[in-house]
Amino acid sequence: MQNDKLKYPTGWAFCKIAVLILLVLTFTPLITPSGKYEPSLMGLPYTLWVGMIQAIILVGITWLGTQVHPGRND
């Protein structure tokens, strides 16, 4: 039981920080510049496929967050 309490807050903190970083990067020109459509990936414009990858990463972080949340066993 003691070992679980040490593991969960670290994973939970990682999830919160990762989501914040990804959300900040989402709205910066670094990731999604205005009016950019090249390079395309399988015919999809740049902003669309980058947005899809960001969404997949957020889903993965959300799943990880459900596994490491400190109150999940309550």
Q: What is the pLDDT of residues 17-70, one digit of tens each?
A: 999 999 898 888 877 777 777 888 888 888 888 889 999 999 999 999 988 887
Provide the whole-model pTM. Answer: 0.74
**Alpha carbon distance 70, 33 (integer Å):** 37
Long-range contacts of 58-64 (CB under 8 A, 24+ apart): 58/19, 58/22, 61/15, 61/18, 61/19, 61/22, 64/11, 64/15
